[in-house]
Amino acid sequence: MPTLQRSQSETYDSQISLTADVVAFVFRDDQLQLLLIKRRSEPFQGMWAFPGGFVEPDESIESAAVRELEEETGLRDVYLEQLYTFGKPGRDPRSRIVTVAYLALLRPDVGDPHGADDAEDAAWCPVDDLPPLAFDHEKILEYALERLRYKLEYSDVGFRLLPVEFTFSELKIVYEVILQESLDKRNFRRKVLRANILMPTNRYRSGEGRPAQLFRLRDDAQAEIKARRLFP
Amino acid sequence: MPTLQRSQSETYDSQISLTADVVAFVFRDDQLQLLLIKRRSEPFQGMWAFPGGFVEPDESIESAAVRELEEETGLRDVYLEQLYTFGKPGRDPRSRIVTVAYLALLRPDVGDPHGADDAEDAAWCPVDDLPPLAFDHEKILEYALERLRYKLEYSDVGFRLLPVEFTFSELKIVYEVILQESLDKRNFRRKVLRANILMPTNRYRSGEGRPAQLFRLRDDAQAEIKARRLFP
DNA sequence: ACAAAAGTGTTGAGAGTACACCCATGC
DNA sequence: GCATGGGTGTACTCTCAACACTTTTGT
C-alpha cells in the first residue's frame, strides 16, 4: 500500500501543492465588489483571478491567505473565514494544485488595491459585472456568494462590510443588495433593534435629507446566533 | 519572492502532504456512534483515530475520503460532505501534513467495521464515551459535532442516519440525542408533516406496544431548506 | 386486563408582514 | 417651501410552545 509506506518511511515530499486563495468582498457605491488581480504569468496570463499563492511549509494556511491579501490591500480589520477546499485533479493545468479558499470581508475604508509581484494589476470589480476568471475561480466565487448570502441571514457578516459606525439605511442596503430583494424599512429596523446588538452613538451622518443616526455593533454581540429550529 | 518563483519554474513537489480524514457517524442503540481505527504504526501507534490517509496525486480529495472509508466499512449509501481543512504546522509530528476532514453519515444497517492495512482494529464508539484520539482529531470531532447539530436544524441530515424506512419516534430520538434536549411528540410530528418531505408507506414496525407506521423521505425532498430570515 | 408505545387537537403568546404618514435638514 | 431621505405604529396572520388523553398491539 503506497499510502502506508509513505506514512512510515518517505521524506513526505508530495506531488500535491497547496495554495490559499482569497475571495475578498467590499461594499462600495451600493454594490458588492470583489478584489481581483490580473495575472502576470502563465497559466492564464493576463486573466483576472483571486489573490492567492502557495502555502509556505512553515506557515498556517490562514496565514498564507492573510499574507496574500495583505500584498494587495492596506489590510486593516479583515474578517477571514475558511470557505472550502477545491482539489479536483486538473483544476490547474500546471500540476496537481489543491487550493483552500477563504472568504474575506473588508470595510469600505480599506485602500485601493495595487498590483504587486505576480499581479500586473489589481482592482475592485462589481460582482455583477465581472471579467472571465482564471482556473475554477468562477465556481469558487459562486460558492463564496452562496455562503455570504446564507450567513447574512444568521450571523453578523453584514456588519463586517460596513464602516464601524453606520446608519440603518446603509445596513439595509447591504442586506438588499446581497439578498437581491427589497426590505421594509420599518420591519428591518425593528428586527435589528430587537436583536439588541447595536449601540447608538450621538453622531449623525449628513447627506441629502435628514441626517441619520450612526450606530455601531455592540462589542459583546455574539458573532453568530444559535439557529432557531427550522427543520424539519 | 519564493512563491512566485515556485509558481513559474519549479517542479511543484511540495513539502506539504495532503490527507483526507473521515468523521463517520452512525446511529445505533439510541446513541450517536463514531467510526474509529486503532493505529498500527507510529506516530500515535495504538491510539484511536479517524480513518484517513494520503490523497493520491491523481484522485480527488473526496475520492480519497470515500476510499479510506470503504476500506473500513461495507460502505453503502453514504452521505459525505467536506467539513474543514486543518493545516496548522505541527499538527502531525512527522512533517507538514494538511488534512481535509469529511463528515460521513451512515445508516444503521452498514456492517461492522473491520481492521485493515494500517488499522490494527476498527470499531464504532459512542461519542460520549470515547478513548483519547490521535493528532488533533478531538478538535476535528468537535467541529464535526457542531456542524452536525447545526445542519440538523436546517437540512435533512437527520434522515441520513436512519434506515430508508423509519418511524416518527426513531426520527425524534435522532433529533433528541444529537441536540441533547427532549422534544414534544405532537409538535415534532406536526412540524415534520408540515414540511411535506415524507412519504407514508403501508408498512408498520412492530415492537412493544402499538406498531408504528413507517415513512420514507420523499425523493424530491430538497436536501436543504432555504434559510428563513433569522438575522438580524 | 394491563403494560407499552402510537397517535391525536386546542389554546395562548410572540414574531412576521403589510402598510402610510410626519420629521429634520439642505438648497 | 420643497425635495430628500430619516424615522415611527398598528392590525392581521401564522408559527411556536405547552399540554393529556385515547388507541392499538403483545403478553
Per-residue pLDDT of A127-136, as tens digits, reads: 999 999 999 9
> Closest to A15 (Cβ–Cβ): which among B8, B13, B42?
B13
- Would you give per-residue pLDDT tens digits along chain A (232 residues)? 333 334 443 445 789 999 999 999 999 999 999 999 999 998 999 999 999 999 999 999 999 999 999 988 878 789 999 999 999 999 999 999 999 999 999 999 998 888 777 788 999 999 999 999 999 999 999 999 999 999 999 999 999 999 999 999 999 999 999 999 999 999 999 999 999 999 999 999 999 999 999 999 999 887 677 777 888 8
Tell me the C-alpha distance between A47 and B142, whole Å.
40
pLDDT value, residue A12: 55
Assess A228–B contact: CB distance below 8 Å, yes or no. Answer: yes
Residues B199-232: tens digit of each pLDDT:
999 999 999 999 999 999 999 887 677 777 888 8
Residues B173-193: tens digit of each pLDDT:
999 999 999 999 999 999 999
Window 120-149 of A: residues touching B by CB (8 A cutoff) are: none
Among B8, B9, B14, B187, which would you mutate to test the A interface (most chain A Cβ atoms within 10 Å of its Cβ)? Answer: B14
| Contact (CB, 8 A) for B81 and B1 | no
B191 φ, ψ (degrees, to nearest 5): -65, -45
Nucleotides of D under 7 A from a protein CB: 3-10, 16-20, 23-26
In chain B, which residues have their Cβ closer than 8 Å to the Cβ of A89?
57-60
* Average pLDDT estimate for B56-85: 93
Tell me the C-alpha distance between A62 and A59, whole Å.
8
Interchain proximity B117–A1, CB inside 8 Å: yes
Tell me the C-alpha distance between A108 and A162, whole Å.
6
Could you identify the residue written with the cell 453519515? B105
pLDDT value, residue A8: 40
Residues A40-82: tens digit of each pLDDT:
998 999 999 999 999 999 999 999 999 999 988 878 789 999 9
**Homologous superfamily of B15-151:** Nucleoside Triphosphate Pyrophosphohydrolase (3.90.79.10)
Tell me the C-alpha distance between A87 and A95, whole Å.
11
- Supply B115's cell numbers: 481492521
Assess B177–A contact: CB distance below 8 Å, yes or no. Answer: no
- From the CA of B59 to the C1' of C15: give the distance in Å: 49
Of B40, B18, B38, B217, the residue nearest B102 (C-alpha): B18
* CATH architecture of residue range(s) A165-217: Orthogonal Bundle (1.10)
Window 26-65 of A: residues touching B by CB (8 A cutoff) are: 41-42, 53-61
Tell me the C-alpha distance between A46 and A37, whole Å.
9
Of B5, B2, B54, the residue nearest A58 (C-alpha): B2
Q: How many CA atoms lie within 13 A of B160 on its CB side?
A: 21
- Residue A119 forms beta bridges with which residues? A39
Residue B93 CA to its chain's centroid (Å): 25
In CATH, the number for domain B162-217 is 1.10.10.10
Q: Tell me, what DSSP letter sits at residue A55?
A: P
| Contact (CB, 8 A) for B141 and B25 | no
Domain ranges of chain B: 15-151, 162-217
* Average pLDDT estimate for B94-107: 97
Assess A153–B contact: CB distance below 8 Å, yes or no. Answer: yes
Interchain proximity B96–A4, CB inside 8 Å: no
Burial B19-35 (b: 16+ CB within 10 A, else e): bbbbbbbbbeeebbbbb
Tell me the C-alpha distance between A8 and B94, whole Å.
9
> Closest to A61 (Cβ–Cβ): which among B15, B87, B95?
B87
Measure A171 CA to nearest chain B CA, in Å: 10
Tell me: pLDDT of B48 over 90.
yes
Cβ of B191 near strand D (under 7 Å)? The reply is: yes
In CATH, the number for domain A16-151 is 3.90.79.10
